[in-house]
């Protein structure tokens, strides 16, 4: 669709804003394909991530909502695994494609801002080497789609700001609606957008009814999830409050910012800082000033919410796009064009240096040693993280070994007890992994009170004999007549490096009552 020139009645007055440029598909496909191949070649090295086991369990039980997320990413996973299976290599194709799409869309955003081939190449390279994008798109979750929805919304906002054409608000409503049906964190984008509109010349769009129609469209997408929550005692709100109180590590504003500098990849600093400066200060970027304001507003909102640092990752690609345009303009004279090659070299080399800490190229031991040698040690984003490896690696380790140990304990029980036995995990990682590996190992049915597993409930009358993963002897003896330590599942680099396995007999209270008391949303 061709953009029309801004009319005198347009919400944005005419000025010397750069015209949109054609997308340099050939250039952008180079980093996009390179990252895709990197993911495909490495995505099975450390195994399935804790959350992926849980998402696969959710995908086997389609619903209109889940305790910790809306259903879109789960529905997509359910369809994908029905067609292509649920091996680690299969389920990671989708996030890898999201990563490549993010690179191309970042370059396309640079083109919308008026950037030529150099601007798009720099933007695409910066998006390709960002540790957050590499990590987030390295395993399946709603977050890989979230990156695309954020950048897609920014892309449409740039078109609105450049053309003044309110028809793009309707597309914005669809993108935001789908994004919210994937992850409710996109509400932060909406709040930042409101601040950006109010603080700039674009407040004139409040006179355009299509802005409100866009809001209605976005809201319509999340109605089913709201109704699901209403029918389930607002489970997601309970989950959010519990996660903030006891799961998510708290960061000061400076710690939050420094962690994002690392996650964006430090060598991209000239790109996104240059982009932020250009958006705030350049005369030719006046129409896009609200994008810079939204970046700052998002940072403040996430700090106030005590969010995980990686939640901010979705805000960087649009600044990388702006940075590509800025550096292309700053180096347009022949005598400065060598700077472009220097920037490309810095991005490529810096991406190579960071890659082993974002993608499982090395062994666990090699990754730890490399990170220490290079001084790259990502902060723990959950209070329970103790492994020497970053959590996005350590949470991929130890799960099959857990299944193997539990299976050995289970097969050691008398036949009559095996028929009545169930396994009880402390969290959805335990339950999801045992459920997954039951295809290879002889395992009992598994349950947990964590997140949506709590809703799926315990078996009626269970408790005569249980294999319990983790927990303390003292705590279990308050619940069971007999508690025996039966084994230990160990994996030195795993998030849970040592898990004690118990055989428990004679549950003292009905399982239904205990289930209510031990609900764990968070």
Are the CB atoms for 149 and 179 separated by under 8 Å? yes
Q: Is the dihedral of CA 231, 233, 237, 239 positive or negative?
A: negative
Q: Is 2 helix (H, G, I), strand (E, B) or coil?
A: coil
Counting as low any pLDDT under 50, the low residues of the chain are 1-13, 385
**Would you state the pLDDT for residue 199?**
96
Phi-psi region of 359 (alpha: psi -120 to 50; beta: other; left: phi over 0): beta
pLDDT per residue over 325-336, tens digit each? 999 999 999 999
**Would you state the pLDDT for residue 12?**
44
Contacts of 193 (CB under 8 A, 6+ apart): 153, 157, 290, 294
pLDDT per residue over 231-266, tens digit each? 999 999 999 999 877 656 678 888 888 889 988 999
DSSP secondary structure, 282-320, as one string: -GGGGGGHHHHHHHHHHHHHHHHHT--GGGGGGGHHHHH
Phi-psi region of 85 (alpha: psi -120 to 50; beta: other; left: phi over 0): left
Torsion of CA 446, 139, 67, 460, to 10 degrees: -10
Are the CB atoms for 514 and 507 separated by under 8 Å? yes
As to burial, measured by CB atoms within 10 angstroms (0-12 exposed, 13-18 middle, 19+ buried), residue 233 is exposed
**What predicted TM-score, i.e. pTM, was given to this entire model?**
0.92
DSSP secondary structure, 120-149, as one string: HHHHHHHHHH-HHHHHHTTS-SHHHHHHHH
Q: Tell me the β-bridge partners of 469.
A: 501
**Would you state the pLDDT for residue 83?**
98
Are the CB atoms for 158 and 291 separated by under 8 Å? yes
From 51, 71, 456, select the one nearest 229 (Cα to Cα). 71
Q: Where are the domains of the chain?
A: 25-366, 399-517
Q: How far apart are the first and last CA of the chain?
A: 45
Contacts of 312 (CB under 8 A, 6+ apart): 256, 260, 298, 299, 302
DSSP secondary structure, 34-69, as one string: HHHHHHHHHTTSS---HHHHHHHHHHTS--S-BTTB
Q: Tell me the β-bridge partners of 502.
A: 468, 485
**Would you state the pLDDT for residue 4?**
40
Q: Output the six-digit token pair for 156.
A: 């449409």
Are the CB atoms for 132 and 263 separated by under 8 Å? yes
In degrees, rounded to 5, the angle at the alpha carbon of residue 229 between the alpha carbons of residues 521 and 241 is: 35
Contacts of 1 (CB under 8 A, 6+ apart): none
Residue given tokens 């350049």 in the structure block: 282
């Amino acid at each position: 669709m061709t953009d029309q020139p801004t009319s005198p009645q347009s919400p944005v007055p005419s000025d010397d804003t750069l015209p949109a440029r054609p997308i340099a598909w050939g250039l952008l496909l180079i980093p996009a394909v390179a990252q895709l191949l990197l993911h495909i070649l490495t995505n099975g090295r450390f195994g399935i991530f804790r959350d992926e086991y849980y998402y696969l369990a959710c995908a086997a039980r389609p619903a209109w909502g889940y305790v910790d997320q809306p259903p879109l990413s789960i529905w997509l996973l359910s369809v994908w695994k029905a067609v292509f299976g649920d091996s680690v290599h299969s389920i990671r194709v989708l996030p890898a494609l999201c990563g490549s799409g993010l690179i191309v869309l970042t370059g396309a955003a640079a083109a919308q801002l008026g950037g030529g081939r150099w601007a798009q190449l720099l933007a695409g390279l910066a998006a390709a080497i960002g540790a957050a994008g590499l990590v987030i798109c390295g395993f399946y979750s709603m977050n890989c789609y979230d990156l695309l929805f954020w950048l897609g919304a920014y892309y449409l906002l740039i078109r609105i700001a450049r053309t003044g054409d309110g028809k793009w608000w309707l597309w914005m409503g669809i993108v935001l609606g789908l994004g919210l049906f994937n992850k409710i964190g996109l509400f932060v984008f909406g709040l930042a957008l409101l601040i950006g509109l109010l603080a700039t010349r674009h407040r004139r769009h409040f006179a355009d009814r299509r802005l409100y129609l866009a809001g209605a469209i976005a809201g319509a997408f999340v109605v089913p999830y709201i109704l699901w929550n209403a029918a389930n005692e607002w489970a997601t709100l309970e989950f959010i409050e519990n996660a903030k109180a006891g799961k998510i590590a708290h960061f000061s504003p400076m710690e939050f910012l420094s962690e994002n500098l690392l996650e964006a990849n430090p060598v991209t600093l000239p790109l996104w800082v240059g982009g932020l400066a250009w958006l705030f200060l350049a005369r030719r970027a006046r129409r896009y000033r609200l994008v810079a304001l939204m970046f700052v507003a998002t940072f403040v909102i996430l700090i106030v919410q005590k969010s995980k640092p990686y939640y901010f990752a979705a805000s960087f690609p649009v600044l990388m796009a702006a940075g590509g345009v800025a550096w292309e303009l700053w180096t347009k004279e022949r005598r400065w064009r060598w700077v472009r090659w220097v920037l490309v070299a810095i991005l490529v080399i810096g991406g190579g240096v960071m890659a082993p800490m974002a993608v499982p190229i090395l062994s666990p031991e090699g990754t730890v040693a490399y990170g220490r040698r290079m001084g790259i040690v990502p902060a723990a984003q959950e209070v329970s993280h103790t492994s020497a490896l970053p959590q996005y690696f350590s949470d991929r380790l130890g799960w099959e070994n857990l299944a193997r140990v539990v299976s050995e304990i289970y097969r050691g029980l008398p036949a009559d007890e095996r028929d009545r036995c169930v396994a009880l995990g402390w969290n959805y990682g335990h339950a999801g992994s045992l459920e997954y590996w039951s295809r290879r190992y002889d395992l009992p049915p598994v349950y947990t009170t964590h997140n949506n597993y709590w809703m799926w409930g315990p078996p009626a009358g269970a408790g005569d004999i249980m294999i319990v993963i983790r927990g303390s002897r003292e705590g279990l003896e308050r619940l069971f007549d007999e508690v025996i330590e039966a084994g230990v599942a160990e994996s030195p680099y795993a998030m849970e490096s040592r898990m004690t396995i118990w055989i428990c007999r004679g549950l003292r209270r009905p399982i239904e009552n205990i289930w209510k008391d031990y609900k764990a949303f968070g």
